[in-house]
């Protein structure tokens, strides 16, 4: 299937932190793939900015190496790479000084769309924003992109929002959460609001419970010192899992419009009930088989930071009253997978009480990674003689098989989000009040376990997490879905 290409006007995109890991792994490879798709015009400029003393040629060489490492061989074309590199410039700037800013001012054109991607530590956001305005580089129609973390609590989030607001209007600020750029996440909105099939069933009357899982096989590794100051709750639940919950639970917006969508997500966050200690399980992966545990990776033998967390959450509104949402995320688990599973209730009366087979509830599974797609499990009669025997089968759709040749046409999340910035579409980006509302719910949860002095439970690497996480859902007569590729 050939993807529809939406043309983009000429633009200047400045990437602060252009020599950093995120730029190398995601931003430049993603922009190259958009160039192949015809979405980066000849008049576009992509300007890398960092403290390193490089010229255009050496910076282009580093971008070419990133493309060679992170773009599949089917997409690597020497002529195309050269054409892409011709659009790239570099300038050395000091975020907290004056070096390089005059030169950058001459490179950013006043008559094209301009966007500034801050792929740097949040502590530098204010300095960059101030100098962009001081030197007249950013205009009233410019856009800035900021990466998470958006603070580490409500107070710091408010301070960060205030810093950005001092130099830019809210309509210019794009807070990027790459989960919202995934094709499956966007298709969740399409499935819900472009089809009448599920809407009558999408409520507490018919949905038994919802599970949201984001599992990783890697540990915190080289991020140990950073991660130990955040933990799974701050690093994953407050943003990624919160966004997935909002898309599942939100009401239909009046229009597919940035503020209309974000208004409905905000209502969900504000409707979240407080979470008590009995509905939280925290864990740390242990050392095993010569491999380091969390305490080794974090280099903090006294750490009480969680590498795993599971929560039972309720949304206090008419649609979801009484339906639990079970959230879990962790490091060093059995498999790398992200999915949302909506489990529907059993029929109120079964006419197949005498039928053999394995009776199970209907489950709609939205897979975010790997192998993005959707799977609806339904009950049918098992083929063959022998009476009415029931068996559950999947109605399976892999996006790679259904919408692209071996998945080649499915863009990475960063590709979609960066092009949305250029187009001025904020639908898939977080708004300032949304970020603050999420922290207002998260902070009391963290304060609660800190006041109690709770320690996370140990769990074995390669497992599904702490034993008590199983009990969190088992006590309700339910079971976690298996964590598997």
Q: Which residues are part of the catalytic machinery?
A: 240
What radius of gyration, in Å, describes the C-alpha atoms of the chain? 24
Query: How would you classify residue 136: left for phi > 0, otherwise alpha for psi between -120 and 50, otherwise beta?
Result: left
**Residue keyed to tokens 């490879």:** 29
Helix (H, G, I), strand (E, B) or coil at 65: helix
Residues 6+ away with beta carbon under 8 Å from 429:
174, 175, 176, 177, 180, 258, 417, 420
Question: Shortest CA distance to 272 belongs to which of 158, 108, 439, 429?
Answer: 439
Cis check: omega of the bond before 288, within 30 degrees of 0 = no
For the chain, the maximum distance between any two Cα atoms, rounded to a whole number of angstroms, is: 82
For 118-136, the DSSP string reads: E-S-GGGHHHHHHHHHHTT
* Joined tokens for residue 433: 């009040």
Query: How would you classify residue 371: left for phi > 0, otherwise alpha for psi between -120 and 50, otherwise beta?
Result: left
Strands 113-118 and 356-357, bridge-based pairing: unpaired
């Amino acid at each position: 299937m050939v993807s529809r290409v939406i043309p983009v006007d000429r633009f200047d995109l400045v990437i602060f932190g252009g020599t950093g890991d995120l730029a190398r792994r995601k931003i430049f490879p993603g922009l190259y793939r958009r160039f192949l798709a015809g979405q980066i015009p000849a008049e576009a400029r992509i300007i890398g900015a960092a403290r390193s003393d490089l010229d255009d040629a050496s910076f282009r060489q580093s971008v070419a190496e990133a493309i060679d490492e992170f773009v599949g061989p089917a997409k690597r074309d020497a002529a195309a790479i050269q054409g892409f590199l011709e659009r790239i410039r570099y300038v050395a700037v000091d975020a907290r000084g004056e070096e390089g800013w005059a030169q950058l001012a001459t490179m950013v054109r006043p008559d094209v769309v301009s966007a500034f991607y801050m792929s740097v530590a949040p502590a530098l956001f204010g300095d960059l924003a101030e100098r962009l305005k001081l030197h007249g580089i950013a205009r009233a129609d410019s856009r800035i992109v900021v990466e998470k973390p958006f603070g580490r609590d409500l107070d710091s989030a408010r301070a960060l929002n205030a810093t950005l607001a001092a130099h830019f209007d809210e309509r210019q600020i794009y807070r990027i959460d790459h989960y919202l750029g995934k094709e499956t996440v966007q298709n969740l909105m399409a499935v819900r609001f472009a089809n009448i099939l599920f809407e009558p069933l999408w409520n507490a009357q018919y949905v038994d419970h919802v599970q949201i899982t984001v599992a990783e096989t890697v540990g915190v590794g080289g991020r140990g010192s950073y991660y130990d100051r955040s933990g799974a709750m701050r690093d994953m639940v407050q943003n990624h899992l919160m966004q997935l919950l909002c898309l599942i639970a939100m009401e239909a917006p009046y229009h597919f419009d940035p503020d209309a969508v974000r208004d409905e997500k905000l209502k969900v966050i504000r409707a979240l009930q407080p979470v008590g200690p009995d509905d939280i399980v925290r864990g740390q992966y242990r050392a095993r088989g010569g491999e380091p545990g969390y305490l080794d990776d974090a280099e903090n033998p006294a750490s009480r930071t969680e590498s795993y967390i599971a929560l039972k959450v309720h949304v206090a509104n008419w649609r979801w009253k009484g339906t639990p949402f079970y959230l879990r995320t962790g490091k060093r688990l059995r498999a790398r997978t992200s999915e949302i599973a909506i489990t529907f209730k059993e029929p109120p009366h079964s006419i197949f009480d005498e039928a053999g087979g394995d009776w199970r509830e209907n489950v709609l599974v939205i897979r975010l990674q790997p192998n993005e797609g959707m799977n609806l499990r339904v009950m049918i009669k098992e083929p063959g003689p022998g009476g009415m025997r029931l068996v559950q089968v999947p109605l399976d759709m892999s996006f790679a098989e259904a919408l692209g040749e071996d998945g080649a046409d499915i863009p990475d999340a960063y590709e979609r989000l960066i092009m949305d910035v250029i187009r001025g579409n904020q639908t898939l980006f977080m708004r300032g009040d949304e970020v603050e509302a999420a922290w207002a719910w998260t902070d009391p949860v963290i304060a609660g376990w800190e006041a109690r002095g709770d320690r996370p439970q140990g769990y074995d690497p390669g497992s599904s997490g702490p034993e008590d996480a199983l009990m969190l859902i088992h006590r309700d007569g339910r079971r976690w879905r298996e964590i598997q590729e």
